[in-house]
């Protein structure tokens, strides 16, 4: 592996909102940007062609799932994740830590790493900071995340401090391993690096405590990564607390690197966190809610199975230009969902992702024209988290 080719150009600022460009080995990402989640090498119910039609700039893959099945060794022998899944735009892979905490049948955190039983077959595994770095080097994502200790729900200050400090120690080990793979690949012949130039992001932890967040930023910046993410949020804390932590942490991160808020959020979260200086987002919400029959529209969530839509020939969102809204009615989408047709998941996911990606496009445009605050206010007035009636 050679040095990372990740670059970042800050193009415009509007308040704390930033318009930028991230350069990766597989192309440029315009930020602020939302990354659809392709857990097991696929964004559920969609094809890669659908993602291109939506003008998806980058997708996320889950290290935990791909490591267990089909295995990072197999993917590396097939040329890496891009070749394996037929996607030549950028990919970010998470560290797998969050899935170990939320999915594994059993987990035990040791200083060495996280030991767990697979949710697939109960087999015993150990993910260490080094191993997670190797797995992602074999997957060949453009952006790799370090292994961190995740909290499944908001933790008390002592637990948050312990997890933050362990995450820092793990981040140091992950970085050392990444630099070893880059500069002395011969010393790790068992690792097949499929994407020279892969970047590695550090993760800021510290729960909802501002002092711990500040400490985590200082310690993680001391290690030094291509860029930094804010982790450990959207785990059940009140949304205003999440905004406060982001508002505290983002300005502490380097101005000349992209900032990634992990696992957030609702459509209004995107605007509120861009307003606090975030550049990259991911969340399963648009695709997961689509499969559960919830369409996210410019006015708020729409639960398609409701009887009131049975003969409603209006599109899901009259203000949306997506394939689903241009061609199909609420009545038809309700029928597909209730009948259990697979097409329901596809059409709903196309709409929800279009809504997210289009919102990001409007955000980028507004920052360039200096009208981001106006857009934020309009969105706040139109969008409601309560389901539409």
Q: Which residues are catalytic?
A: 94, 282
Min dist CB 296 to Zn ion, Å, is 10
The answer to the question of residue 325 lying near Zn ion (CB under 5 A) is yes
DSSP 147-187: -----SS---HHHHHHHHHHHHHHHHHHHHHHHHHHH-GGG
Applying CB under 5 A, which part among 77-85, 138-146, 186-194, 325-333 lies near Zn ion? 325-333
Q: Which is nearer to Zn ion, 82 or 330 (CB)?
A: 330
CB of 321 to Zn ion, least distance (A): 7
Q: How far is the CB of 357 from Zn ion (least distance, A)?
A: 11
Enumerate the H helices of the chain as residue ranges.
48-53, 63-68, 72-77, 81-85, 97-102, 129-139, 157-183, 210-223, 239-249, 267-274, 285-291, 323-327, 330-339, 342-369, 372-382
272 versus 317: smaller Cβ distance to Zn ion:
317
Give the residue from 76, 79, 89 showing the smallest Cα distance to 23. Answer: 89
| Candidate residues 114, 230, 290, 320; the one interacting with Zn ion per rule CB under 5 A | 320
Computed on alpha carbons and rounded to an integer, the radius of gyration of the chain in Å comes to: 21
Residue 329 Cα to chain centre, angstroms: 31
Report in angstroms how near the CB of residue 324 gets to Zn ion at its nearest.
Answer: 5
Residue 115 bridge partners (DSSP): 108, 126
Length of the chain: 389
Sequential DSSP letters for 314-334: S-S-TT--SHHHHH--HHHHH
Cis preceding linkage at 265, omega within 30: yes
Options 214-222, 257-265, 314-322, 358-366: segment touching Zn ion (CB under 5 A): 314-322
**Structural contact between residues 166 and 149, judged by C-beta atoms closer than 8 angstroms:** yes
Q: Which of 322, 353, 360, 366 binds Zn ion (CB under 5 A)?
A: 322
* Listed ranges 47-55, 121-129, 324-332, 376-384: which one lies at the site for Zn ion (CB under 5 A): 324-332
Min dist CB 2 to Zn ion, Å, is 42
Given the rule CB under 5 A, which of 103-111, 132-140, 245-253, 319-327 is the region that contacts Zn ion?
319-327
Pairing of strands 227-230, 199-204: parallel
Query: Site size for Zn ion, by CB under 5 A?
Result: 6
User: Could you say whether residue 302 binds Zn ion (CB under 5 A)?
Assistant: no
Q: Which is nearer to Zn ion, 264 or 324 (CB)?
A: 324
Closer of 205 and 359 to Zn ion (Cβ): 359
State the nearest-atom distance from the C-beta of 319 to Zn ion, in Å.
Answer: 9
Contact 290/348 with Cβ under 8 angstroms?
A: yes
Q: What residues between 333 and 362 interact with Zn ion by CB under 5 A? A: 351
Q: Does 132 bind Zn ion (CB under 5 A)?
A: no
Which one, 273 or 320, has the nearer CB to Zn ion? Answer: 320
Q: Which is nearer to Zn ion, 163 or 344 (CB)?
A: 344
Residue 233 CB partners (closer than 8 Å, separation 6+): 242, 245, 246, 261, 262, 263, 264
Instruction: Select the span of 96-104, 168-176, 304-312, 323-331 touching Zn ion (CB under 5 A).
Output: 323-331
CA dihedral 242, 248, 249, 253 (to 10 degrees): 150
Choose between 26 and 351: whose C-beta lies nearer to Zn ion: 351
Footprint of Zn ion on residues 26-65 (CB under 5 A)?
none
List residues binding Zn ion (CB under 5 A): 317, 320, 322, 324-325, 351
């Amino acid at each position: 592996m050679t040095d990372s080719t990740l670059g970042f150009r800050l193009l415009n600022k509007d308040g704390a909102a930033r318009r930028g460009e991230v350069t990766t080995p597989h192309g440029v990402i315009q930020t602020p940007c939302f990354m659809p989640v392709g857990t097991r090498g696929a964004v559920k119910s969609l094809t890669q062609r659908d993602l291109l039609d939506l003008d998806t700039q980058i997708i996320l893959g889950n290290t935990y799932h791909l490591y267990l099945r089909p295995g990072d060794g197999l993917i590396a022998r097939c040329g890496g994740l891009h070749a394996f899944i037929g996607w030549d735009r950028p990919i970010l892979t998470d560290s797998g830590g969050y899935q170990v905490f939320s999915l594994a049948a059993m987990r035990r955190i040791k200083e060495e790493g996280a030991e767990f039983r697979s949710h697939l077959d109960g087999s015993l595994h150990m993910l260490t900071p080094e191993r997670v770095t190797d797995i992602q080097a074999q997957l060949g994502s453009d952006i790799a995340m370090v292994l961190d200790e995740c909290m499944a729900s908001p933790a008390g200050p002592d637990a948050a401090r312990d997890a933050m400090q362990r995450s820092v120690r793990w981040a140091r080990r992950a970085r050392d391993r990444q630099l070893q793979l880059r500069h002395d690949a011969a010393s790790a012949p068992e690792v097949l690096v499929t994407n020279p130039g892969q970047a590695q992001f550090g993760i800021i932890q510290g729960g909802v405590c501002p002092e711990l967040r500040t400490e985590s930023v200082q310690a993680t910046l001391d290690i030094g990564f291509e860029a930094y993410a804010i982790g450990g949020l959207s785990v059940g804390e009140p949304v205003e607390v999440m905004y406060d932590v982001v508002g505290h942490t983002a300005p502490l991160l380097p101005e000349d690197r992209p900032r990634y808020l992990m696992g957030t959020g609702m459509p209004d979260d995107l605007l509120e966190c861009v307003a606090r200086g975030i550049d990259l987002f991911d969340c399963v919400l648009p695709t997961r809610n689509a499969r559960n029959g919830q369409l996210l529209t410019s006015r708020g969530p729409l639960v398609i199975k409701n009887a009131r839509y049975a003969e409603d020939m209006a599109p899901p969102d009259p203000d949306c230009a997506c394939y689903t809204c241009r061609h199909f009615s609420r009545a038809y989408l309700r029928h597909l969902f209730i009948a259990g047709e697979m097409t329901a998941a596809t059409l709903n996911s196309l709409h929800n992702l279009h809504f997210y990606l289009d919102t990001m496009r409007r955000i980028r445009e507004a920052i360039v024209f200096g009208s981001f605050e106006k857009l934020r206010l309009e969105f706040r007035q139109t969008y409601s988290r309560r389901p539409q009636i």
